[in-house]
Amino acid sequence: MCTILALESSCDETSAAVYKDGKILTNIILSQEIHHKYGGVVPELASRAHQKNIISIVSEALKTAMVDKKELNAIAYTRGPGLIGALLVASSFAKGLSLALGIPLIGVDHLHAHILANFIDEPKPALPFLCLLISGGHTQIILVDGPMKYKIIGQTIDDAAGEAFDKAAKVIGLDYPGGPAISELAKSGNIMSYQFPTPKTPGLDFSFSGLKTSFLYLVRDHIKAEPDFIKNNINDLCASYQHRIISYLLQKLEKASIETGIKEICLAGGVAANNYLHENLTSMSIKNDWKTYIPELQYCTDNAAMIAITAYYKYKEGIFDELDATNYASGESSN
């Protein structure tokens, strides 16, 4: 077995986790509140916050796990995709510690890690499985044949589902991040109040740019006739918009299951925490005889535990980084 310290700094969460003997011992996450007032993540501010917090986060993770740095067999970090300046903070720290301790360095693809978040706790999905990965920057359907073998079979051709939530939230004056705010308001809204179009995309691919535009135009046109339209209808707006996004995601996932014959279904990414998605996934799983898996909430958003579990599988295969390995923003190819 092995002991791994993992770091995550791809966006606006600074996180450190310790993996030892098959278990995640600690998963410390510090979110950056400073971005709320700007309505989105400011890259330079994110980088500075990571620099300020990473030493204390690592110390807390090791202390809570009762692991001395001399016990570490490897150190892992997020190579990408993500904000370049933010990624550099964890990668530089990891490389320095790897060199100082003389232990292997493991670079992890952020999206690969989201998939393997489903391997942190029991029950684990049987292979092969389909993973619907949905976040602020990515929307993909991935066919997974093994921890190190996966293939993207569908993805957004423009914007991501998480971004569609955040941009709509901004239009109606909700704070960033907008997804959780819309989800909460939608609980007391009517999903049939407003009809948003289902995007037309080929195969298993997605598109959310047109849906965002239709939301903007609907709100703009109604405000002309009713200045207090948003205030008076915000719950129904959120419910109807959320319903369209979630139903669209699940329609494509169902299509992927039918085409591949795979009934082991996983969620991953920040949007995987959406309760309305959970409810509708449950209904669809009953209809299609699926077995479904959703990571614990702390493993859906950006976190170092998912980096650690992915690093463990790379450690087993002897897949390590050189100290001069560079960051990248586009992700790695399927293994």
Q: Across residues 2-19, what is the average pLDDT?
A: 95
Within 8 A by CB and 6+ apart from 103, the residues are 72, 73, 74, 75
Sheet of strand 264-268: strand arrangement: 149-155, 139-146, 129-134, 264-268, 291-293
- Residues 324 and 95 sit within 8 Å (Cβ to Cβ): no
- Preceding peptide of 202 cis, ω within 30°: no
What residue ranges define each of the domains in the chain, with the CATH number in brackets? Answer: 3-115+299-317 (3.30.420.40), 124-294 (3.30.420.40)
Local confidence band at 68 (pLDDT 50, 70, 90 cut-offs): very high
Write out pLDDT tens, residues 271-298.
999 999 999 999 999 999 999 999 999 9
Within 8 A by CB and 6+ apart from 282, the residues are 292
pLDDT of residue 333: 40
C-alpha dist (Å) from residue 141 to 111, 175, 251, 286: 11, 29, 12, 20
pLDDT of residue 43: 75
Would the pLDDT of 36 be above 70? no
Closest CA to 305 of 86, 142, 61, 45: 61
pLDDT of residue 35: 61
Write out pLDDT tens, residues 145-181.
999 999 999 999 999 999 999 999 999 999 888 899 9
